[in-house]
Structure 1
Amino acid sequence: MVPKDLTHRPVTRGLFLSPLGVGTGTSRWASAAVQPDDALLLDGLRRAVQFGVGFIDTADSHRCGHAERLVGKVLKENPGHKMQVSSTVGRVRGSAPHPYAGPRVRHQLEQTLENLYLDELAVYTMESYDFGNGDRYLGPVVEQMRVLRELGQIRAIGLRGPDGRSSARFIHRFLYLFDQIRPDVVWTQASGLLPLADLGDGEDLGAFTSRRSVGLLIASPLANGVLAGRRPRMEGMAADRVEAQTSAITQGLAVLSDRFGPSADALLRVALRFLLHQAQNAVVVVGLGDALQVGRYFDCLGRPLCPTDLTVIEEVFHRIRSTMNPPVDRTVCVEVTSRDGRSVFPVQQGSPLRR
């Protein structure tokens, strides 16, 4: 069962969510090219409901709506459930000229709610940054989303955010869209091996959203299974770099095993508890697997980590990250108009130009 200390968190205005949920963003769910065993995934969803999990993160693009329909099937089987669900818009175009064109957002929401057998979504996230030429659809889409929130069909407006691998250009675009959209929640990916995005001026995405009373949805907390005991995938990487990264991960996880225990479940507890502590305004979403996997996620949580534990874990993860993630070029090319025409100047991330 979900530990009693993991009570619902105030993610944004009037929206309280379970701090640990499940999501359909794993490769078995999200890829149209992969046809997983639906029976196993349905068993995982049913186990989540039995455990009292209160939040599911899905997307209309996951197997072209099939993931939403499987979630809806289980929710329909449990009419007294208290599950809250988030989904996305912006990838699936259908017959419209653009995923954000005209009333497309409202139509897609209606389809999503029908798939899920729900009357409202907890969070509706704009997944794509493509709003047409010159952002022609941005203003109308923002207006539609706010109307949907006022009507009670969605509780919060979401926006996809950067992660620790994002380029300066992506972060610059996010900051611009954040100002235009003023979302209630930001969706991102993070783990002990992939820190929250650095937005400059010494502020990461967690601090940025917390300062603005905006919630975080954090996916991939287990670093694609590495923090659940899976061997890291490093295809296409130079042999010496593979060796260095594998060695750093192995040595770091060995330190954690010595302190917290050698089992994979002990490592799961460390990974999930650490991230939940790092971002108090966040909901952490683990990838949905079969019933056994879902059971492991929530059985392993145990007691909260103590301050000494957290310090040790941060030091270990920092050493691994310093090997895995080389410094990122935070230079943004800013285009300005001068008397002699347009010029492009490099501006370091963290300068006063950062919004």
Structure 2
Amino acid sequence: MRGSDLRPRTLFSGLNVAPLGISTGTTRWEFPYRNIDDGQVIRGFRRAIELGARFVDTADAQGGGHAERLIGKVLRECRADEVHVVSKVGRLRGSAVHPYAGPRVRHQLEQTLENLYQEDLAVYVLDSYDFGAGDRYLGAVVAQMHAMRDLGQIRAIGLRGPTSADSLERVRRFLWLVEEIQPDVVWAQVNGLLPAAVLEGGESLSDFTAKKGMGLVIASPLAHGLLAGHHNRRALGILCGHGTCVEAAAAVVERGLRELAGRFGHGRGTLARLALRSRLQRSPHAVVAVGVADEYLVDECFACLSGPLSEDDLTHIDDVLARIRLGIQEVAGDRAVHERVGGIG
């Protein structure tokens, strides 16, 4: 990873990876996938591999396996060192009565491995907290996950983590599931517009996972490119409920980013570096995954990580991002911004 002074992170016992990985999660995968440019995603993925990425975050629900198949296409031709892949389960039901019913998790893993052209997964993430009425499928799912790990089909069990958009009940549900499932890794969407949830007692998700000895995967660190200065109307529309305040929200984001650029410089990649570097320094055991839909943004991200930020710098970045969040809420009026912000992940 060019120019980076950041050391590899231990995601779980036996796996040390570079702190910056890549994700297919910032591409629009809704059926019928008209907005996906397969070539663009593949070019972005190839470029990231060239720049040293060895960690890939994807999911079976993205295009019903389409994202996994695109990743598999590149992995088949890849001659680089081993690439470690994370995928997820729990949102696609298929022909089963529930995404977690019966042997559904095991069967989906087999399909995911075929899609990815892989013999195993680094992490398999339980992506939903819904285990059926009365958690009827939870025990069987936990048994399947542990068995698949014991057999070497997956190397670590993952669980989706909460964000600031989640209710207190959902945060408590997460904490309870951690005890029931005993995951090795937590996966969460976290960025300046969507902070991680503050857990009970005021503990951060980063501190909680570190205390528990669990790895942390942070996805969507740039909020669809918004925090790198890219004017993404779709992401802004989600924030504002696709109302008339999109341009006002864009002005709020632009004003905050202009303040950061005034302090740190206007060079290419500066804003991406601030978003990524601050996230990595705030979570020293985490791996951060950036989207590959834009190969030019991939270049920015992988070339801009050198040089630590001071505590004063980190505080200033946090303050500016907090003002951006507040400003977006204000221009959106009484609309439930936090209920939608997770959609930009």
In structure 2, the residue matched to 1:292 is 296
1:90-122 Cα distance to aligned partner (Å, 9 max, x none): 112222222212221111111111111111111
CA 168–264 in structure 1, closer or farther in 2 if over 3 Å, else same: farther
In structure 2, the residue matched to 1:165 is 165
Q: What SS class does the counterpart of residue 122 from structure 2 fall into?
A: strand
Distance 2:289 2:167 in 1: 24
Greater CA drift, 205-214 or 190-199: 190-199
In structure 1, the residue matched to 2:310 is 306
Distance 1:279 1:148 in 2: 29
CA contact (8 A) 2:191 2:220 kept: yes
CA contact (8 A) 1:44 1:294 kept: yes
Q: CA deviation at 1:237?
A: 7.4
Q: CA deviation at 1:256?
A: 0.9
Distance 2:253 2:107 in 1: 46
Q: What SS class does the counterpart of residue 200 from structure 2 fall into?
A: coil
CA contact (8 A) 1:32 1:62 kept: no
Q: What SS class does the counterpart of residue 27 from structure 1 fall into?
A: coil
- Count, aligned residues: 326
Q: What SS class does the counterpart of residue 201 from structure 1 fall into?
A: helix
CA contact (8 A) 2:27 2:293 kept: no
Distance 2:321 2:46 in 1: 33
The percent of aligned pairs where both chains have the same amino acid is 51
In structure 1, the residue matched to 2:287 is 283
| AA in 1 matched with 2:292 | L
| AA in 1 matched with 2:310 | C
Q: CA deviation at 1:316?
A: 2.1
CA 88–2 in structure 1, closer or farther in 2 if over 3 Å, else same: farther
Distance 2:210 2:65 in 1: 32
CA contact (8 A) 2:22 2:292 kept: yes
1:19-59 Cα distance to aligned partner (Å, 9 max, x none): 1111111233x322333221221111111111110111000
**Structure showing the higher strand proportion among its residues:** 1
Q: What SS class does the counterpart of residue 62 from structure 1 fall into?
A: coil
Give runs of aligned pairs for residues 81-96 of structure 1, distance below 5 A.
81-96=81-96
Distance 2:101 2:300 in 1: 42
Structure 1, unaligned runs of 5 or more: 330-355
Asked if residue 262 in structure 1 is aligned to residue 261 in structure 2, the reply is: no
CA 246–118 in structure 1, closer or farther in 2 if over 3 Å, else same: closer
Q: Give the alignment's Cα RMSD to 1 decimal.
A: 2.3
CA contact (8 A) 2:222 2:228 kept: yes
TM-score where L is the length of structure 2: 0.87
Greater CA drift, 129-138 or 222-231: 222-231
| AA in 1 matched with 2:155 | R
1:144-188 Cα distance to aligned partner (Å, 9 max, x none): 101111111111101111111111121121112111111111111
CA 150–44 in structure 1, closer or farther in 2 if over 3 Å, else same: same
Q: What SS class does the counterpart of residue 16 from structure 1 fall into?
A: strand
CA contact (8 A) 2:4 2:307 kept: no
Distance 1:18 1:300 in 2: 14
CA contact (8 A) 2:229 2:257 kept: no
CA 132–250 in structure 1, closer or farther in 2 if over 3 Å, else same: same
CA contact (8 A) 2:162 2:170 kept: yes
Q: CA deviation at 1:306?
A: 2.8
Distance 2:321 2:145 in 1: 38
CA 287–258 in structure 1, closer or farther in 2 if over 3 Å, else same: same
CA 241–75 in structure 1, closer or farther in 2 if over 3 Å, else same: closer
In structure 2, the residue matched to 1:14 is 14
CA 325–235 in structure 1, closer or farther in 2 if over 3 Å, else same: closer
